[in-house]
């Protein structure tokens, strides 16, 4: 996608998106393609930041748009903006991915004696990495990371972030505040 198309995704008016959604709900393939092009970069970026690797982000982005195709007929305006609805699909898929990954890791991991302490190499790596902001953000809870990602990378409002995460606006504000306080404390201690 070109820079112009990326900029267009950010500047598409609610009325334009609404018209595209209505056409897509009527079965127009061109409208579905346009919605895909308008939202692909942001959905992929969100998933890449959320899951932490390109391969899983690509798979989850594909799944997000497949779910969009399956469910677009059920989308209703007034409950949430279309982009928040689409991000909610992506968020749910990412959470399912984490649950499945955690389940697989728990089944595969057999604790061995002596593994409780990290190696000196791992400790050194973490000490060096602690200086970077991304590393500081990685130490936040998954919910705090998601709130900061939605708010500061994707410029979502509190209401939109709450819709994506399935939380109240107050909960989003609280998560953001706690995340920023935690980051401030970590920065002060480095």
Query: What top-level class would CATH report for the domain 1-108?
Result: mainly alpha
| pLDDT > 70? residue 171 | yes
Domain boundaries defined on the chain: 1-108, 120-190
Q: Mean pLDDT across the chain, nearest whole number?
A: 78
The average pLDDT across 16-37 equals 93
| pLDDT > 50? residue 125 | no
The confidence band for 109, taking pLDDT boundaries of 50, 70 and 90, is low
* pTM exceeding the 0.85 threshold for the entire prediction: no
* CATH classification number, 120-190, choose in 3.40.190.180, 3.30.565.10, 1.10.10.10, 3.40.50.2300: 1.10.10.10
Lowest mean pLDDT among 27-31, 83-87, 174-178: 174-178
Cα–Cα distances in angstroms (integers) from residue 131 to residues 113, 135, 188, 190, in the given order: 31, 7, 11, 7
The average pLDDT across 173-182 equals 86
The average pLDDT across 65-81 equals 89
CA distance 175 to 168: 11
Question: 1-108 with 120-190: one CATH topology?
Answer: no
* Residue 124, CB-side half-sphere exposure with 13 Å CA sphere: 3
Decide: 149 and 50 in contact? Cβ < 8 Å.
yes
pLDDT of residue 102: 67
pLDDT of residue 40: 94
The average pLDDT across 28-36 equals 93
């Amino acid at each position: 996608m070109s820079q112009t198309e990326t900029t267009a995704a950010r500047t598409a008016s609610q009325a334009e998106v609404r018209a595209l959604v209505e056409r897509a709900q009527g079965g127009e393939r061109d409208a579905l393609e346009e919605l895909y092009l308008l939202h692909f970069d942001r959905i992929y970026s969100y998933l890449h930041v959320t899951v932490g690797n390109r391969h899983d982000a690509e798979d989850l982005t594909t799944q997000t748009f497949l779910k969009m195709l399956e469910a677009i007929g059920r989308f209703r305006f007034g409950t949430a903006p279309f982009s928040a609805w689409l991000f909610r699909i992506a968020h749910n898929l990412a959470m399912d991915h984490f649950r499945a990954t955690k389940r697989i890791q728990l089944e595969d991991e057999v604790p061995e004696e002596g593994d409780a302490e990290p190696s000196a190499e791992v400790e050194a790596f973490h000490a060096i990495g602690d200086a970077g902001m991304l590393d500081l953000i990685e130490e936040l809870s998954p919910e705090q990371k998601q709130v900061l990602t939605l708010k500061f990378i994707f410029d979502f409002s509190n209401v939109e972030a709450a819709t994506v995460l399935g939380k109240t606006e107050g909960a989003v504000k609280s998560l953001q505040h706690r995340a920023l306080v935690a980051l401030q404390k970590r920065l002060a201690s480095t």
